Amino acid sequence: MNKNDLTYEELYRQGCEELETAGIGEAKTDARLLLEWCCGTDRNTLLAHGERAVTEAECGRYAACIDRRRRRVPLQHITGEQEFMGLTFEVNKDVLIPRQDTEVLVEEVMRYLHDGMRILDMCTGSGCILLSLLRYSNDCTGVGADLSGEALAIAARNAERILGAGAMEKVAFVQGDLFEKISGQDRFDMIVSNPPYIKTDVIDTLMPEVSRHEPRLALDGHEDGLFFYRRIIAQAEKFLAGGGMLFFEIGYDQGAAVRLLMEEAGYTDVEVVRDYAGFDRVVCGGSHV
């Protein structure tokens, strides 16, 4: 990339071209967002101040970012953040990047969430589900569990970022294999989970941003994709308070299977909820105790 005497808009055009040539789907958007990231600018700059000069340092940073994006590093791994439920979460290679689809899960839980409830987020990753629920409710508290200590380090940083200084009074993070380290005494009104649910064989067919850069641990639902639903459904009841509810995010083709697993385990009023694209996205049901 030529670093001499470029304007902001010219630099943006170079970025677009490089990403387009590399076959990046959202080339223009990504080129703009990376430029804003490198220059500390916002969308308005391209619209209103395209003739602005760029410094050599900005050019250098941008070239490095475009190069990483060309090699399919997810945009969010370059910027280190992703917006979810109107909040900005820190992300890195150790956590699944929060998806817009998952906002449907949060919104569904919110329909039933009351002040002061206790929430368990199983496979919390970045913490985006639990922390959004705590941020948008009153006096609720929660536990986020994950097998990955690296993920929990990000979740803890997000807790401070989203909930502020008193975060640790409202939320705790526990490392373990599903419920392994959750105390048997601890009962929750809501258990929510976006577990790994991609069939092992399918992972390598996903976009390289996902298959090569997102944590396999957060994606791999074993042979039929349902491994974690079975285990969570079997154990969750012991950790639900009377009248408690279990909520899952699911893959678009898993609605019937997960509904059946929950019904067979005795959960009541099991429902499958669709996302805005019309695909099955959430399954929820009540504890029968």
138, with CB counted inside 10 A (0-12, 13-18, 19+), is exposed
Instruction: For residue 88, give Cα distances in angstroms to 78, 98, 133, 157, 161.
Output: 15, 10, 14, 12, 8
Which has the closest alpha carbon to 102: 250, 234, 259, 254?
250
196 binds ligand GLN (CB under 6 A): yes
Q: How far apart are CA 118 and CA 27, in angstroms?
A: 42
Q: Please give the DSSP secondary-structure letter assigned to residue 188.
A: E
- The single residue among 52, 68, 70, 99 that binds ligand GLN, judged by CB under 6 A, is 99
Instruction: For residue 113, give Cα distances in angstroms to 163, 191, 225, 259.
Output: 18, 11, 28, 21
| Binding segment (CB under 6 A) for ligand GLN, from list 31-39, 44-52, 157-165, 189-197 | 189-197
198 binds ligand GLN (CB under 6 A): yes
**Which residue lies nearer to ligand GLN by CB, 99 or 213?**
99
Closest approach, Cβ 80 to ligand GLN, in A, equals: 19
Q: How far apart are CA 22 and CA 226, in angstroms?
A: 35
Closest approach, Cβ 232 to ligand GLN, in A, equals: 12
Q: Helices in 27-98 by DSSP H: which ranges?
A: 27-39, 43-48, 56-70, 75-79
Q: Please give the DSSP secondary-structure letter assigned to residue 223.
A: T
219 binds ligand GLN (CB under 6 A): yes
105 binds ligand GLN (CB under 6 A): no
How are strands ordered across the β-sheet holding 188-193?
Answer: 171-175, 141-146, 118-122, 188-193, 240-249, 280-286, 268-274
194 binds ligand GLN (CB under 6 A): yes
**Which residue lies nearer to ligand GLN by CB, 96 or 167?**
96
Site string for ligand GLN, 5-44 (x = CB under 6 A): ----------------------------------------
Closest approach, Cβ 212 to ligand GLN, in A, equals: 13
Which has the closest alpha carbon to 106: 247, 254, 264?
247
- The single residue among 188, 197, 229, 247 that binds ligand GLN, judged by CB under 6 A, is 197
| Binding segment (CB under 6 A) for ligand GLN, from list 5-13, 48-56, 59-67, 192-200 | 192-200
- The single residue among 210, 241, 257, 265 that binds ligand GLN, judged by CB under 6 A, is 210
Closest approach, Cβ 109 to ligand GLN, in A, equals: 16
231 binds ligand GLN (CB under 6 A): no
Residue 248 C-alpha from the chain's centroid: 14
**Which residue lies nearer to ligand GLN by CB, 45 or 194?**
194
- In the complex, which residues of this chain contact ligand GLN (CB under 6 A)? 96, 99, 101, 194-198, 210, 219
